[in-house]
Structure 1
Amino acid sequence: MFQPHWQVLPVVSLPAWFLDIVKSYTPESEGKYVAQLLWQRGIQTPEKLYGFLDTNIYHPLSPFEFGQEMKLAMKRLKIAFEKQEKVTIWGDFDADGITATSVLWEGLGDFFIPHLQLNYYIPNRATESHGLNISGIQKLATEGTQLIITCDTGSTNLTEINYAKELGIDLIVTDHHTLPDERPDVVSIINPRYFSSDHPLFCLSGVAVAYKLVEALYQTLPDIPQQPLENLLDLVAIGLIADLVELKGDCRYLAQKGIEKLQKQLQNSTRPGIVALLKYCKRNGDRPTDISFGIGPRINAISRIHGDASFGVELLTSRDKEQCQKLAEDTELANTRRKSLQKNVVKDVKKKLANLDLSTTQVIVLEDPQWSSGVLGLVAGQIAQEYGRPTILLTTAETENINTKNIKLARGSARSIGNIDLYKLVASQQDLLHRFGGHPFAAGLSLPVEYLPLFQEGINQQLRQEIIDINYLNNTIKADLVVTVSQLGKSLFRELKLLEPCGMGNPVPKLLIQNCWFKALKNENIRDLKNNTVRYIKTKFIMYDRSIEQGFPGIWWEHYQDELPQGKEKLYDAIVELDYNTHSHNYEVRLIDLRESFFTKNNQQIPETKPNLIDLRNQDNLIKNYLEGEILTQCPTSWDELQKVYRNSLKQEQKLTLAYSVSPHFNGQEILQQLIGIAKYLSRTQKIITKQKLKEQLKLSDHSLNLALDFLDTLGFKLNKNYQELQFTQQLSQTSKYQFPKQKLLETLKEEYFQRQYFAKIPLETLQQILNHAKM
C-alpha cells in the first residue's frame, strides 16, 4: 500500500497589520491560526485579504471580459430571440453539467418559451459518454433546432461541430475543458482556458461560464428578464464546489454568494428539489461540505446509476413540491446504490492490484467487463490516492460501428495524482483511442479492446520517460497546524471557517494531533430509504491526548474498526479535518491519515521537543523572509554536504529549513550554454564573479565547478583565480581536446542531478533518522 509523506508547515512571523485585519473577522478568537493559513496560501496584501474574506469588497469581472467571443454570442442570441428560433441547451451528466444546464434553462427561459422554443439535451452516461455526438445532433436537427448552446462540454468536438454546421445548426460553446489547437468553427466559444492561468476567470467551471453567458444576456436585453440574476447563484455554487476547479478569483466569489443563497432555502424555499436533497443528506446548506459530501454526490449518482440524468434538471428547477419529492427520493436511492457499487468495484480492483508488480508500474490500467461504468471515476480517484499512481479503470462497452466496422470498446475514467497532467498523458496515446476528453486531473476515454495491451505499455513508457520513477513522487499530506485535542471545537472551527469555501488550491485545513489514542470504536453501515444495508462503512471513535480527559468524537470513512487500534498501549500521530455535524449538532473530526508515534508506552513521559527539520522542499512562491532558523536553499548532492549544514544548525540550536527545489527535467546542454554565456559576458565586461555565485546560478557542486572551469579552459577562456573569485580576461582559440572534458562534465552534471532528485524526494522521516544516526 502507498504510504503518503507528511509535511508540517512552519509557523511564520506575521505583520501586525495582517493580524489586525484577520482579527476583525474573528471576534470570538485571536485569529492567529487562520491568519497563518491565509499567509501561507499567498494571501499577503490588504487587497487580496479583504477580497478573499469579504464578498462585499471583492469586485467580480464583467462577462464581457471574454471579449469578442461574448459579443458574438450576444449577437447570435439576439437574432434567435427576435426570430423566435428553436434553441437547445446541450449539457453534461455530472453535477457541473446538470447545474450548468439548469442555469441556462432558467436564465434563457426568460427570453425563450420553455419546451416550445427552448429545450435541453443531456447525453446518457451509459450509452453516449461526454460531449457532442452525431446521433444526438441528428435528433435535434429533425426536431427543428437552429441553435445549440453547449455547457460544460463541446470545445474539442470538432467532427460533431462540423456535422451540425452541415445540417444548418449554429453552435455557441460554453465550456471550461481543454482547448483544441485551433479555434473550432462555431459562432462563439466562451472558455476561460483562453485566459492566462492567473486571470480571475481562468478557473471558472462549466456552470460559472454558463452563468456569465446569462449575465451578459441580462445586460444586453435588460428589459426582458422577469427574475433577478442572483436567483441562479445557488445552482452556480453547487456546480462549482462539486467540480474539480480552484476556488479563487471569481470562482470563490460566486461560490460564496451562492452558499448565501443556498442556506436560505430551508427557511424560504424556492427550489423544493434542493430542500428535499438537503433533508436526505441531513444538511442545512450553509457549508461547502453540504455540497461536496451531500448534494453533489447525489446529483452525480443519477447518471452513474440510471445513465439518463435529464430528470436532474427538473429536480433542481421545478417548483412542483410533490414531483420534486419523488425525484429527490429516486436520487437518494441512486446514491445509496452508487455507494454499494463503488465499494464492490474497489474490492475487485484491489484484488487485481495484488497480482500486479507495482514496482514496475507507472500508471495503473485495469479493465473488467463486470464493472459499472458509472462509478469508475470515483474508484479511480480513490485508488490513485491510495497507491500513488495515475489510475485508469475501464469496462467493456457495447460493440459500436466505427468506420463501417463493428468494434468492441473499452470505456472508462482516469484520475491523476500530484502534478501529473493526465490530459497530456492520455493524449500521448491518442492514436489508439476512439474518444477522450477532460483536464489535467480527470479524463474520460474509450478505445478498442484489442488496443488495450498497446495502450497500457505506451502510457507507462510515456510517464517513465517524463518522471523516471513514479516511486519518487511521494504523495504529500500537508499538515497546516499542530493542535491538541483540547483545542478542537467551536472556537477553532469558526476561525477556520473563514477559509471556506475550500477546494483545489485552498484545501480544507489539516490538523496534526500528536501522541493521541482512540476509544469507543464502533462500525456503522449506511442504510437506504428502504432500510436496506449499504456496503459502505465508517468507523466512529473518541480521540484523546494528554491535554483532555473527556475526548473528542471523530469518524473514519471507508475503514473498519479493527484498522484503528484502541487504547493507550500505543500512541499515534493523526492528521484530521475539523467539521460540524449538522444532524447531531456536534463538532467532530474526520480522520485523514494515521501513523504510530515514537512514544508508544503508556507511562513514558513525552518530552517537549521541536523538530530539527522543517520540510519546505519543492514549493513555489516560498516566502523565505519569514522563515526562522537556518535555511538551506541549495539542494545538496551528498550526505557529507547535508550533514555539515545540519550539524551547524544543531550547534546554533536552530531548526534547519529545507527550502530547496529540483526541476523535474534535466537538460545538460542548457547548463553548458548558460556556462559559456556567463564566461563570454564576464570576458567582455571584465567583471568578477564569486565561485559561490556561479555554483548557485548553475547548481554546481565544488567538483562539477572544477570540471566546468577545465571545460572553459579548453574553449579558450583565460581564467584568473583568486581564493573565492573568478575573472575571465579573454577568449583564445579553443583547443581540439574539448570533447572529453565536455562529456565528463555532462556525465557529472547528470549524476549530481539524480543525487539532488534523491534529496528532494526522500521522505522527511527517513532524512531525519539518517541525520540523527550520523550525528551520534
Structure 2
Amino acid sequence: MPKQWELRSYTEEEEQVASTLAKQLGLYPVVGRLLVARGIRTMADAEAFLSPSLDALHDPLLMQDMPLALERVELALNRKEKILIYGDYDVDGTTAVALLYRYLRDHFVPKEQLAYYIPDRYDEGYGITQQGIDQAHHMGAGLIIAVDTGIKAIEEIDYAQSLGIDVIICDHHTPAETLPHAVAILNPKRVDNSYPFTDLSGCGVAFKLLQALASRRGLAFDTLLPLLELLVLSIAQDRVPILGENRILAYHGLQVMNTTPSLGIAQLMREGKIRPGHVDMASIYYELGPRINAAGRMAHGAESVKLLIADSLHIAEEQSAILDAYNRKRQDLDQEVTQQALAHIEADPTLLDRKVLVLYDPSWNKGVMGIVAARLADRLHRPVVIFSRSGDYLSGSGRSYGGYDLYQAVQACSDCLLNFGGHMFATGMSVAPDRLAEFRRRLEQYTEEHQDTNHPFLPKLHIDTRLDAQEISRNLLRQIDLFYPFGMGNERPVFLTAQLRDAGGTRAVGKNGQHLSLRITDYYQRIRPLHGFALAQAHYLPALARHAPFALCYELEENNFYTQASLQLRVKDICLETELDDRLH
C-alpha cells in the first residue's frame, strides 16, 4: 500500500522566525525551519537545544510532594531503616530500580539495609502486588520507594500502611481521578502538576528524587553523573520525547555510556558487539534495550537489575550472558507468535475491515504480547491489542498507530476491564474472559466514533520540509547532527526532493535484487551525482533507467562502509514525478 506523504507546512510567521534563527546562529535556512518544527522560537531556546547543558535541569523541588518525599527518605536514613525499591519489569522500571539502588548503596545505605523487588510478570502481573509488600514486611522495611509503577495501586498502598510501611511513588503514568494514600507521589502527570516538564520517564522521576537528595545532603551533582547511562536507556526504550530535560539527560547519558560505562553496561555492549564510543539511540533501541527487556519477558526482571548494579566483572559477565540467552529465546518466540497472529487474520480476512484489531489466543506467551502488537500495528497500519491467557483472566498489551491515543480509547472502555494502564502509544490491561467480546465491541465502536474518515490509518510518511538538490551537502549533514540524539519528538529529519533523475549506475542490490543502490542527480544535471539506498524499491528501476523524473523522501546520513566516509541518502520512499500530487497530503 503506497504511503501518504505528509509534508509539514510553515506559516509566514514561522518562516520568518526560522530565517532569523538561521542567520543569528550561522546555520542553513532549512535548519532554522527544523528548529521551528521542534517548537523553538527564540535564540535562547535554540542555544539550549543545540547545546544541552546539565545546568539547565529544573529544580527538583518544583515537583509536587518532593519536600515530603525528601523528608521521608531523610527519616529512613537517619533511623537506619531498611528500604525496599519496587519497580516494573521493563527497561524503564529496572533502570529506575538500579538507579536508586546504586546511589543509595554507594552513598548512604549499607547493602544489608537495602533491597529491591521486581514482580513476576507471570505469577503476579504488572504493578505493586501484595506479594511484594509482604516481602518488604518480611525483611523489616519501613519504607518502599516505588518506581515506574504505583500510581493506581490504591488498595495495595493501603495494605502497606496497615503493615506499618510507608510508600513513596515515583511514576510517570497517567493517574486516575483518585490518588493512592502514599506519603508522597512524584508524578509530573498529576492534575495539580506545576513541574515545568511533564514527559520524564519513570527512571527520570526517580532521578529527580536523587537530585534533590544529593543537594539536601551536600553531595556534588557530579556524584549523579554515572547514573546518566541508566537514564538514557530508559528514555530510549520507553519512547518518551527527546526534548526538554529528556534531551539533556539522553545527550549526557550517551557520553557516559560511550566513555565510562558501568561494568554491567560495558559487558552488555560487548554482547551486542557495540564498540566503545559508538553507542547511539539506535543501538539502545535494537541491541541493549531488548536484552534488558528480555529478562522480564522470558523469566524475571530481577536478572536485569543484577546486571545494572553489578559491582564485579564476574557478575557482569554472568548476567550479560543470561540476558543474551533470554533475548535469543525471545526473538524466536515473538516471531512464532507474530506468524500465528497473522494466520488468525488470514483465516478471517474480515478482521482487516476493522479500524482497531483485537486478537486473542490462550496459548500465546504474554511476555511478547507488546512486541507482537507493535509488529502488527506497523504492518497493518492500525492500533492492535493482543490478549493471552494468564490464570483466571486474560492479559493484554496494545500498541497505537498513526498518532491515535490508544490510552484514551481503552480508558473509555475501562468498565469492561479488571485494570489497565499505560500512555497514548502503549497500554496494558487485563480482562475477565467473558468480557473480552464486549471490550472488543466497545473499543471498535469508540474508534469508529473518534475517527472521521473511512481510512484513518493509511501508512503515512511525515516530511519535515522540501529540500532542493543543490542544498544537499556534507555541511548540511553536520548541522543536522547538532540535533543529536534523535528519537521520539526529535526524529532525524526527513526531506523531500523532487525533479531528480538517474545519473547512471543505479542498480538493484540485495539477495533477491529487491533493493536499490541509487546514483542520482537533479533533472538538469547541475549537481555532482549523489548516492542513496532504498529498501524494497527495486520495482522502480525500469522507470528510473528510462530517466523518468522522480521524487525522494529521505534522511541524510554518513556512509562509513568504505575507507572514506561519504554522504548518503537513506531513502524512505520513492515516487515518480507524475505520482507526486497524489502522494502529497
The verdict on how the C-alpha distance between 1:340 and 1:565 changes in structure 2, with shifts beyond 3 A counting, is farther
Structure 2 residue identity aligned to 1:497: D
**Secondary structure of 2:509's partner?**
strand
Match of 1:509 in 2: 493
Tell me how far apart the structure 2 counterparts of residues 198 and 7 of structure 1 sit (CA, whole Å): 34
The verdict on how the C-alpha distance between 1:230 and 1:396 changes in structure 2, with shifts beyond 3 A counting, is same
Would you say the 8 A contact 1:555–1:589 is kept in 2? no
Q: In the alignment, is residue 234 of structure 1 matched against residue 212 of structure 2? A: no
The verdict on how the C-alpha distance between 1:583 and 1:593 changes in structure 2, with shifts beyond 3 A counting, is closer
- 2:39 is aligned, of 37, 42, 51, to 42
- 1:575 is aligned, of 522, 541, 553, to 553
Match of 1:140 in 2: 136
Q: 1:349-374 CA deviation, whole Å, 9 max, x = no partner?
A: 23333323256412100012333322
Displacement after TM superposition at 1:167 (Å): 1.8
- 1:433 is aligned, of 417, 433, 445, to 417
Would you say the 8 A contact 2:355–2:457 is kept in 1? no
Displacement after TM superposition at 1:185 (Å): 0.4
Q: In the alignment, is residue 466 of structure 1 matched against residue 450 of structure 2? A: yes
Q: Which has the larger radius of gyration?
A: 1
- 1:521 is aligned, of 498, 506, 509, to 509
Match of 1:745 in 2: none
Tell me how far apart the structure 2 counterparts of residues 487 and 540 of structure 1 sit (CA, whole Å): 26
**Secondary structure of 2:316's partner?**
helix
Q: In the alignment, is residue 369 of structure 1 matched against residue 362 of structure 2? A: yes
Structure 1 residue identity aligned to 2:30: Y
Higher relative contact order (CA 8 A, sep 6+): 2
| Comparing 504-513 and 515-524, the one that deviates more | 515-524
The verdict on how the C-alpha distance between 1:476 and 1:569 changes in structure 2, with shifts beyond 3 A counting, is closer
Tell me how far apart the structure 2 counterparts of residues 332 and 583 of structure 1 sit (CA, whole Å): 27
Tell me how far apart the structure 2 counterparts of residues 321 and 71 of structure 1 sit (CA, whole Å): 38
**Secondary structure of 2:311's partner?**
coil
Would you say the 8 A contact 1:152–1:176 is kept in 2? yes
- 2:29 is aligned, of 28, 32, 44, to 32
Structure 2 residue identity aligned to 1:180: A
Match of 2:123 in 1: 127
Would you say the 8 A contact 1:484–1:545 is kept in 2? no
Match of 2:539 in 1: 565
Q: 1:44-80 CA deviation, whole Å, 9 max, x = no partner?
A: 211211111112496221110114x111111111111
Would you say the 8 A contact 2:70–2:212 is kept in 1? yes
Tell me how far apart the structure 2 counterparts of residues 21 and 290 of structure 1 sit (CA, whole Å): 34
Tell me how far apart the structure 2 counterparts of residues 582 and 83 of structure 1 sit (CA, whole Å): 57
Match of 1:701 in 2: none
Q: 1:73-97 CA deviation, whole Å, 9 max, x = no partner?
A: 1111111111111110001111111
The verdict on how the C-alpha distance between 1:50 and 1:427 changes in structure 2, with shifts beyond 3 A counting, is same
Within 5 A, what are the aligned runs for 1:252-651? Answer: 252-265=247-260, 270-279=261-270, 280-283=272-275, 284-304=277-297, 306-354=298-346, 355-358=348-351, 360-397=353-390, 399=391, 407=392, 409-469=393-453, 471-483=455-467, 490-514=474-498, 519-523=507-511, 541-546=516-521, 552=531, 554=533, 556=535, 564-565=538-539, 567-570=541-544, 573-580=551-558, 593-598=572-577
Q: 1:331-353 CA deviation, whole Å, 9 max, x = no partner?
A: 23333433333333333323333
The verdict on how the C-alpha distance between 1:115 and 1:15 changes in structure 2, with shifts beyond 3 A counting, is closer
**Secondary structure of 2:455's partner?**
helix
The verdict on how the C-alpha distance between 1:521 and 1:99 changes in structure 2, with shifts beyond 3 A counting, is same
**Secondary structure of 1:7's partner?**
strand
Tell me how far apart the structure 2 counterparts of residues 544 and 376 of structure 1 sit (CA, whole Å): 41
Tell me how far apart the structure 1 counterparts of residues 388 and 24 of structure 2 sit (CA, whole Å): 53
Would you say the 8 A contact 2:214–2:221 is kept in 1? no
**Secondary structure of 1:502's partner?**
coil
Displacement after TM superposition at 1:298 (Å): 2.4
Would you say the 8 A contact 2:465–2:495 is kept in 1? yes
Tell me how far apart the structure 2 counterparts of residues 568 and 245 of structure 1 sit (CA, whole Å): 42
- 2:48 is aligned, of 24, 28, 51, to 51
Normalised to the residue count of structure 1, the TM-score between the two structures is 0.67
Would you say the 8 A contact 1:519–1:567 is kept in 2? yes
Tell me how far apart the structure 2 counterparts of residues 57 and 133 of structure 1 sit (CA, whole Å): 36
| Comparing 481-490 and 249-258, the one that deviates more | 481-490
Structure 2 residue identity aligned to 1:19: A
Structure 2 residue identity aligned to 1:54: S
| Comparing 483-492 and 250-259, the one that deviates more | 483-492
Would you say the 8 A contact 1:33–1:495 is kept in 2? no
Tell me how far apart the structure 1 counterparts of residues 5 and 584 of structure 2 sit (CA, whole Å): 13
Structure 1 residue identity aligned to 2:539: P
The verdict on how the C-alpha distance between 1:54 and 1:310 changes in structure 2, with shifts beyond 3 A counting, is same
Structure 2 residue identity aligned to 1:567: L
**Secondary structure of 2:141's partner?**
coil
The verdict on how the C-alpha distance between 1:593 and 1:767 changes in structure 2, with shifts beyond 3 A counting, is closer
Displacement after TM superposition at 1:555 (Å): 6.8
Displacement after TM superposition at 1:120 (Å): 0.6
Q: In the alignment, is residue 765 of structure 1 matched against residue 582 of structure 2? A: yes
- 2:212 is aligned, of 212, 216, 231, to 216
Tell me how far apart the structure 2 counterparts of residues 569 and 226 of structure 1 sit (CA, whole Å): 60
Match of 1:156 in 2: 152
Count of residues paired in the alignment: 565
Structure 2 residue identity aligned to 1:182: T
| Comparing 333-342 and 452-461, the one that deviates more | 333-342
Tell me how far apart the structure 1 counterparts of residues 364 and 528 of structure 2 sit (CA, whole Å): 47
Would you say the 8 A contact 2:521–2:530 is kept in 1? no
Would you say the 8 A contact 2:495–2:554 is kept in 1? yes
- Identity among equivalent pairs (%): 29
Displacement after TM superposition at 1:220 (Å): 1.7
Would you say the 8 A contact 1:8–1:481 is kept in 2? yes
Tell me how far apart the structure 1 counterparts of residues 528 and 242 of structure 2 sit (CA, whole Å): 39
**Secondary structure of 2:322's partner?**
helix
Tell me how far apart the structure 1 counterparts of residues 317 and 566 of structure 2 sit (CA, whole Å): 30
Unaligned runs of 5+ in 1: 24-29, 400-406, 525-537, 601-610, 612-763, 769-776
The verdict on how the C-alpha distance between 1:179 and 1:226 changes in structure 2, with shifts beyond 3 A counting, is closer
Tell me how far apart the structure 1 counterparts of residues 259 and 148 of structure 2 sit (CA, whole Å): 27
**Secondary structure of 1:116's partner?**
helix
Tell me how far apart the structure 2 counterparts of residues 311 and 391 of structure 1 sit (CA, whole Å): 29
Displacement after TM superposition at 1:584 (Å): 7.4
Tell me how far apart the structure 2 counterparts of residues 374 and 180 of structure 1 sit (CA, whole Å): 26
Structure 2 residue identity aligned to 1:33: V
Displacement after TM superposition at 1:32 (Å): 3.4
The verdict on how the C-alpha distance between 1:88 and 1:516 changes in structure 2, with shifts beyond 3 A counting, is farther
